[in-house]
Amino acid sequence: MSVLIFADQAEGHIKKSAYEVLTYGATLAAQLGTHADALVLGTVSEDLAVLGKYGINTVYTVSNDALNHLDSGVFAAVIAEAVGKLSAEVVVLSHNQTGKALASRVAARLKAGLVTGAISLPDTSAGFVVKRTVFSGKAFAKVQINSPVKVISLNPNSFHVAVMEGSATVTSLDIVPPASKVKVTAVHKVKGEVPLTEAEIVVSGGRGLKGPENWGIIEDLAHELHAATACSRPVADADWRPHHEHVGQTGVQIAPNLYFAIGISGAIQHLAGVNRSKVIVVINKDPEAPFFKAADYGIVGDAFEVVPQLTAEIKKLHNS
């Protein structure tokens, strides 16, 4: 019996979201009186032994170039085979874009109970009960898993990452990935200072910016904060910004530590995609904007006056 954590990687580097699930999985293993192992697919350039600092006992790798790009069918088959080889009873993934594509497939292959979007450790005092968000984060549900093998995907930014002393053993697993049914004809990489889904800070703009020619104030603030930029759906629909920057219920769902909503009214569809942010700062000249009800901090004022002053003050702090 063990806990197996899928540690996602991209371009040879372990993703930030992986460290959270590693800590979560290791804490869960301690709670269950067992050990935690990690599974890394594809070619990784980092020293994987350092994952022991997150409570990992052994890092199992399947180093195959075919696994350097996500194919959910292939990945799910490899993960399921690894679970069988290692006799793992709990599988943990991040509830990010990769995890959303994989968790249900892995659970189906293993005939396992599945809870997606978990926000805390399971209650094992009387069974195995996992708390998760429902209705776009407006409520919670407690789900009991009764199957021998259990699959959990953890909501990003819902569990504290703990770093300790330790070094993991790195071992290769002899698994041959099945042939992919997907043919990659081209790869178009999104460029930016910080990937949106991995960003600690996100600066987002809405129709209050009045046009794409004014987006410089968003980019300047994001640059000073080493943040990612985002936008509301109307902005993306109007082609002011690319659609991969659209955050909300129908766009990218994010959970940064700090989210700036500038010139965004705060429609429920937008809020559903960002309400897991640790701190929300709203800047809007309309004091009745719905977003203020969800904000931790609010500034009523013209974005074209407030944002440049805020950027200037942050720049002073960096230069002091």
- DSSP codes joined into one string, the chain: -EEEEE--EETTEE-HHHHHHHHHHHHHHHHHTSEEEEEEES---S-GGGGGGGT-SEEEEE--GGGSS--HHHHHHHHHHHHHHHT-SEEEEESSHHHHHHHHHHHHHHT-EEEEEE-S--B-TTS-EEEEEETTTTEEEEEE--SSSEEEEEPTTSS-----S---EEEE----PPPPS-------PPP-SS-GGG-SEEEEE-GGG-SGGGTHHHHHHHHHHT-EEEE-HHHHHTTSS-GGGBBSTTSB----SEEEEES----HHHHHHHTT-SEEEEEES-TT-GGGGT-SEEEES-HHHHHHHHHHHHHHHHH-
- Same domain membership, residue 136 and residue 76: yes
Same domain, 127 and 166: yes
In the numeric block, the tokens 């440049």 are attached to 308
pLDDT of amino acid 192: 64
* Position 190 pLDDT exceeds 90: no
Q: How far is CA 92 from the centre of its chain?
A: 13
Query: Residue 193: what pLDDT?
Result: 64
Question: Which tokens hold the place of 49?
Answer: 């032994």
267: left (phi over 0), alpha (psi -120 to 50) or beta: beta
Question: What is the per-residue pLDDT across 104-119, written as a single tens digit (0 to 9) for each?
Answer: 999 999 999 999 999 9
Residues of the domain holding 157 = 2-172
For residue 38, what pLDDT is reported? 98
What is the CATH classification number for the domain harbouring 99? 3.40.50.620
Q: Is residue 190 part of a domain?
A: no
One domain for residues 118 and 201: no
- Predicted confidence at residue 188, as pLDDT, reads 77
Residues 246 and 206 both lie in one domain:
yes
Mean pLDDT, range 18-29, rounded to an integer:
96
Instruction: Note whether 167 and 242 are same-domain residues.
Output: no
Taking 70 as the threshold, does the pLDDT of residue 158 lie above it? yes
User: Residue 237: which CATH number?
Assistant: 3.40.50.1220
232 and 168 fall within a common domain: no
pLDDT of residue 77: 97
In a domain, 183, yes or no: no
Q: Is residue 182 part of a domain?
A: no
Least confident of 14-18, 58-62, 299-303: 14-18
Number of domains in the chain: 2
Residues 113 and 259 in one domain: no
Say yes or no: 163 and 48 in one domain: yes
Overall average pLDDT of the 60-77 stretch? 94
**Is residue 32 assigned to a domain?**
yes
pLDDT band at 265 (very low <50, low <70, confident <90, very high): very high
Report whether 157 contacts 257 (CB < 8 A): yes
Q: Give yes or no: residues 29 and 94 share one domain.
A: yes
Question: Is 186 part of any domain?
Answer: no
Is residue 289 very low, low, confident or very high in pLDDT (cuts 50, 70, 90)? very high
Is the pLDDT reported for residue 213 higher than 90? yes
* Cβ neighbours for 320, distance < 8 A, ≥ 6 positions apart: none
Burial readout 86-123 (b: 16 or more C-beta within 10 A, e: otherwise): eebbbbbbbbbebbbbbbbbbbebbebbbbbbbbebbe
Arithmetic mean of pLDDT over the chain: 93
Q: Verify that 84 and 151 share a domain, yes or no.
A: yes
Please tell me whether residues 292 and 152 are part of one structural domain: no
- In the chain, the percentage of residues whose pLDDT exceeds 70 is 99
Which tokens in the block code for residue 197? 């889904």
Residue 119 lies in a domain: yes
160 falls within a domain: yes
Residues 20 and 113 in one domain: yes
The pTM is what? 0.86
Domain assignment of residue 181, yes or no:
no
At 17, the pLDDT band (50, 70, 90 cuts) reads confident
Q: What is the mean pLDDT of residues 138-142?
A: 91
